[in-house]
Amino acid sequence: MKEGAINIGLIGLGTVGSGTFELLQRNSDLIRRRAGCGINIRRIAVRQKDKPRSVDVAPDLLTEDAWEIVNDPAVEVVVEVMGGVEPARALLLSAIEQGKSVVTANKELLAKHGAQLMDAAREKRVDVNFEGSVAGGIPLITPLKQSLAANRIERVTGILNGTTNYILTRMAREGLDFDEALREAQQKGFAESDPSSDVDGHDAAYKLAIVSAIAFGSRIPVEEIFREGISRIRIQDIRYAAELGYVIKLLAIAQSESEGFELRVHPTLLPVEHPLASVSDEFNAIMVEGDGVGRVMFYGKGAGAGPTGSAVVADIIDTARNILHGATGRIPCTCDQSLPLRRYEDVKSMFYFRMLVADRPGVLARIAGILGEEGVSIASMIQKGEQGRLAEVVWITHRARQKAVDRSIQRIQETDIVPQITNVIHVTE
């Protein structure tokens, strides 16, 4: 067993990097005891050395050249918290090829190029740890790889993006419309100035790809995940959903059924009594369903310096333990299958429709008739406030195939009785 301290190099000193640095400093005694050795930060790569920083770093630790870290023979673990695909991919691949273990919180890199990194790591028998890439500080990757390893995973359902959850919560609680809630999230630092990665569901799709690969043991082509963001959700939808006993959340869903394998990210009406329904503000939560364990749920903060730093440092400790015991590569990637994805049009779901219809006798019967002909059966319907000679109607359907729903909508739009189908949203039980 190796003794002393493990040398690490940190690439990136933004929010996550600072959180990582701070925890390593503040809890160094406790970390030494748990890891079995000290963790020594040998070098930190930053974009600009002389920038003012929130953490107190000795200036001679800093470099503007990340390759200095990767190529330093004394660095045993490369910790990448810079984000983005390049140069992170090239840096980590080189580190792995030099026999170093790596820790990363880079969801985009893993979702797009995880397989390449994992193959290289398996070859070199080093660790690639990435607890911080999904759901911040919430233990999820390690529980999936270890504590739930006895289970055939049937379904993963998650609120994996804090920004959109914050926006939806503010809309529901304060009656804000989407644009107002987004602006507020930006002011509070919960949303970026370009919010599209969060709002359009890219961020959640990256995380779903990472989690599903482990849960289902399959390569996941992230670009094939069905993805729809929250910008079409209106305050009216949230209010009607509430009347019907639902909340609206941006859910990431992966499930394996006899009919195929499904991956999707979209706004969803969730019954208020569902364990994920009460997950509010910027919090994240993930429900995992396995054939042995049943339903388990993990809840906490999905972002921020402290939470994500907690995950990154945990990975560093675990890697250090493996280095001490000569056991890096202890849990290799086993995502070797290529499960065929069910085509989106074949996915079955319940649906919510909101539409403006002509306010005259026979109209609802005609719509219901079209739905029935397409095999879409109605679970409930409410008719709301009139707008001139139009009425607003909300329907909830039973489970139906996406294809049948699309066809119904097209046929309804071709009539002259429904000037506008305002929204169509998935519903889950």
Candidates 382, 366, 372; CA nearest to 418 is 366
- Nearest approach, Cβ of 399 to its own copies (angstroms)? 26
- Nearest approach, Cβ of 329 to its own copies (angstroms)? 8
Distance CA 80, CA 83 (A): 8
Alpha helices in 288-340 (DSSP H): 305-324
Residue list 41-80, contact with its own copies (CB under 8 A): none
Position among 124, 264, 321, 354 found at the interface with its own copies (CB under 8 A): 321
Structure tokens at 370: 């079209």
- Nearest approach, Cβ of 210 to its own copies (angstroms)? 15
Tell me the per-residue interface mask from 228 to 267 with its own copies, x by CB under 8 A, - otherwise.
Answer: ----------------------------------------
Tell me the per-residue interface mask from 180 to 219 with its own copies, x by CB under 8 A, - otherwise.
Answer: -------------------------------------x--
- Nearest approach, Cβ of 330 to its own copies (angstroms)? 5
Residue whose CB is less far from its own copies, 126 or 357: 126
- Count, residues near its own copies per rule CB under 8 A: 63
Distance CA 163, CA 264 (A): 18
Distance CA 221, CA 4 (A): 42
User: H-helix or E-strand containing 58?
Assistant: none
- Nearest approach, Cβ of 83 to its own copies (angstroms)? 20
What is the Cα Rg of the chain in Å?
24
Tell me the per-residue interface mask from 8 to 37 with its own copies, x by CB under 8 A, - otherwise.
Answer: -----------x---xx-xx--xx-xxxx-
Contact between 121 and 194 (Cβ < 8 Å): no
- Nearest approach, Cβ of 313 to its own copies (angstroms)? 3
Distance CA 199, CA 269 (A): 17
The one-character DSSP state at 389 is T
Residue whose CB is less far from its own copies, 169 or 349: 169
**Sign of the CA dihedral with 239 first, then 244, 246, and 251 last:** negative
Catalytic residues, by residue number, are 207
User: H-helix or E-strand containing 19?
Assistant: helix 15-26
Residue list 277-316, contact with its own copies (CB under 8 A): 278, 290-301, 304, 306-307, 309-314, 316
Residue list 151-170, contact with its own copies (CB under 8 A): 151-152
User: H-helix or E-strand containing 177?
Assistant: none
Residue 85 touching its own copies (CB under 8 A)? no
Tell me the per-residue interface mask from 371 to 410 with its own copies, x by CB under 8 A, - otherwise.
Answer: ----------------------------------------
Distance CA 285, CA 50 (A): 38
Position among 63, 116, 334, 423 found at the interface with its own copies (CB under 8 A): 334
Helix (H, G, I), strand (E, B) or coil at 37: coil
Distance CA 73, CA 286 (A): 39
CA-to-CA dists, residue 392 to 40, 405, 416, angstroms: 63, 19, 15
Query: Where does this chain bind its own copies (CB under 8 A)?
Result: 19, 23-24, 26-27, 30-31, 33-36, 131, 137-139, 141-143, 145-152, 217, 275, 278, 290-301, 304, 306-307, 309-314, 316-318, 321-322, 325-327, 329-332, 334
